[in-house]
Amino acid sequence: MPTSKSDLKKLTKLGKKSSASRTLEVFPNHAPKGSMEVTLECTEFTCRCPLTGQPDYATIEIEYKPDKYVVESKSMKLYLETYREEGVFHEHLAVDIGKDFVKFVKPLECEVKVMFNVRGGIAISAEWEYKK
């Protein structure tokens, strides 16, 4: 089934200028419940150390099984960009992104992986999971 005009009605970020809000937009899922898995991968994520303010770079991967809605990818990109100048511990980031994702998208299942580049000789990865 192709994307219909009614699928686009509530989308406000796609094709528009960037806004710095931490919200995610969704569109209707046309697949039968539980039959699709979606993976989002951001290889250019940046934030800052909450103590030193030094930049941290990471790959963020979000895997989820949509229920009624699928996340609109540009809104996800803009959401992740809101962390660019924010100080956040890596482990907290996985939880924060995951909880926001569940709040807006309401998936059946969701896993958020944050894989930070080496800094000071240590690479940190953290995972957060949700099942409805």
Measured distance CA(108)–CA(62) in Å, rounded: 13
Split into its structural domains, the chain has a count of 1
Is 100 considered catalytic here? no
| Percent of the chain residues past pLDDT 70, beyond the cut | 94
pLDDT digits (tens, 9 = 90+) for 2-45: 888 888 887 876 666 555 679 999 999 999 999 999 999 999 99
Q: What is the reported pLDDT for 97? A: 98
- On whether residue 82 sits in a domain, the answer given is yes
Distance in angstroms (rounded) separating the CA atoms of residues 51 and 53: 6
Specify the pLDDT at position 63: 98
Is there a domain that residue 43 lies in?
yes
Domain assignment present for 6: no
Q: Residue 70: inside a domain, yes or no?
A: yes
- Catalytic position from the list 56, 67, 96, 100: 56
Name the residue range of residue 123's domain: 22-131
Q: How many residues are there in the chain?
A: 132
Catalytically annotated residue among 7, 49, 67, 100: 49
Q: Which pLDDT does position 8 carry in this prediction? A: 80
Query: Residue 77 domain-assigned?
Result: yes
Reported as half-sphere exposure (CB side, CA atoms, 13 A), residue 20 has a value of 5
> Which CATH number fits the domain that encloses residue 82?
3.30.1130.10
CA–CA separation, 67 vs 79, rounded Å?
Answer: 21
* Greater model confidence, 114 or 20: 114
pLDDT at 11: 81
Q: Does any domain span residue 40?
A: yes
Task: Assess contact for 125 and 47: CB atoms under 8 A.
Answer: no
Annotated active-site residue 47? The verdict is: no
Q: Is residue 113 part of a domain?
A: yes
Domain-embedded: residue 118: yes
Q: What is the pLDDT of residues 37-69, one digit of tens each?
A: 999 999 999 999 999 999 999 999 999 999 999
Tokens of 93: 């980031």
Global confidence as pTM: 0.85
